[in-house]
Amino acid sequence: MNREEDPSKKDLPDSDYKSVKEDLISPEDSDNSSIERFLPEVAKKKKKSQDIDMSNNNQQEGSQANNNNLPHPLPEDFYRVQAMVLQLQAEKEARNISPPPPPHHHQQSRAEVRFQKFTEDVRKTHGNQNPDFVSLDQSGANFQIWEDEVNCTLDYVFSPTDPFLGDNANFAKLDTDGAKSVMNLFRVTVTQQLRTTVAGPSVKTPLDMFNLIKSNCKHWNHQHKLRIVDRLMSLLKNNTPSTDSTLPDWTNIVTELEQLKVSAFELYRLLLQSGFVAPTSVDKNNFGFTIDAKLEAKDDPVFSK
């Protein structure tokens, strides 16, 4: 048999079917794919679920392995965390605390306002109460007017029960600022000559200054009153016919006595003293002062004795 006729060497015709060998070695038809092809649909889903569970278990095992590799916390770490928690709680409580109430502003009363203005500007306060206030002269001729004006100012500021200068207890109630302001009031309402006498460094309190003013002016004030009474006596003794000036002279005397607040009792005493004639060898002023001192010493002089 020749070679060309060998059946094993004979070419087969083309066919649409693949050989069994080719199917077995095809990459698309591996052992697994061939098995899966014939598995029912339920079995496929079950196998897929098992694969997912296995993958999750592998991830958990890996995570647990990583956690096992972390260092264990020390006591210092615990205290540090505890301190941070306490700090955060304190900050939270601080934010929740309501802000403090605004400071209470004390509303000054009218008396406090008057006192404050008086201490800030004594002269202005005195001028507001007495627009044309006088300056007390060394002679004491205007002592009564000065005393009335000062009383008007101090009564306005302190509102005492009795006239301020008439009660020594009013001086005792003064605080430091009040005492200093009253002394300033005395200084600015007397003449420079009198201020030199009564406002020396030895004078420590307003009561001391007021008593010194009175002692310096009282005698001169009394002499001023005696001079007014002398004018009155001259009018009484004048027997000449009245003129146009007679009525004004009487009016001026009465006005001055009213301004000096000469009471009827004091006027009687002044008339009595004016009626005494000093002996030739005695100084008239000293004699009058002696008579006045004796009358002053009596609480209720009886002129019949």
CB 143 within 8 A of CB 136: yes
59 within domain boundaries: no
Chain centre to alpha carbon of residue 126: 26
> Between these two residues, 189 and 273, which has the higher pLDDT value?
189
159 within domain boundaries: yes
Amino acid identity, residue 224? H
d(CA 146, CA 183): 15
- Does residue 62 register a pLDDT over 80? no
50 within domain boundaries: no
99 within domain boundaries: no
Task: Supply the pLDDT for residue 185.
Answer: 96
Minimum mean pLDDT range among 49-63, 118-132, 147-161, 238-252: 49-63
> Between these two residues, 204 and 58, which has the higher pLDDT value?
204
150 within domain boundaries: yes
186 within domain boundaries: yes
Q: How confident is the model at residue 188 (pLDDT cuts 50, 70, 90)?
A: very high
Query: Beta partners for 190?
Result: 136
Q: 172 is in which domain, residue-wise?
A: 110-217
Q: CA 17 → CA 44, 172, 237, 244, 283, distances in Å?
A: 29, 139, 179, 171, 176
Q: How confident is the model at residue 32 (pLDDT cuts 50, 70, 90)?
A: low
Amino acid identity, residue 264? A
38 within domain boundaries: no
Q: Which residues have a Cβ under 8 Å from the Cβ of 304 and sit 6 or more positions away? A: none
Question: 81 by DSSP, 3-state: which?
Answer: helix
Half-sphere exposure of 238 (CA within 13 A, CB side): 15
Q: CA 127 → CA 110, 147, 299, distances in Å?
A: 19, 14, 37
Chain centre to alpha carbon of residue 114: 17
138 within domain boundaries: yes
**∠ Cα 235 238 243 (to 5°):** 80
Q: Which two tokens stand for residue 210?
A: 């007021």
> Between these two residues, 232 and 201, which has the higher pLDDT value?
232
> Between these two residues, 148 and 78, which has the higher pLDDT value?
148
* 296: phi then psi, degrees, rounded to nearest 5: -65, -30
What mean pLDDT comes out for the span 234-252?
Answer: 86
Minimum mean pLDDT range among 90-94, 153-157, 181-185: 90-94
Please report, rounded to a whole number, the percentage of residues in the chain having pLDDT higher than 70. 65
- Does residue 43 register a pLDDT over 80? no
Q: How confident is the model at residue 230 (pLDDT cuts 50, 70, 90)?
A: confident
Domain count, the chain: 1
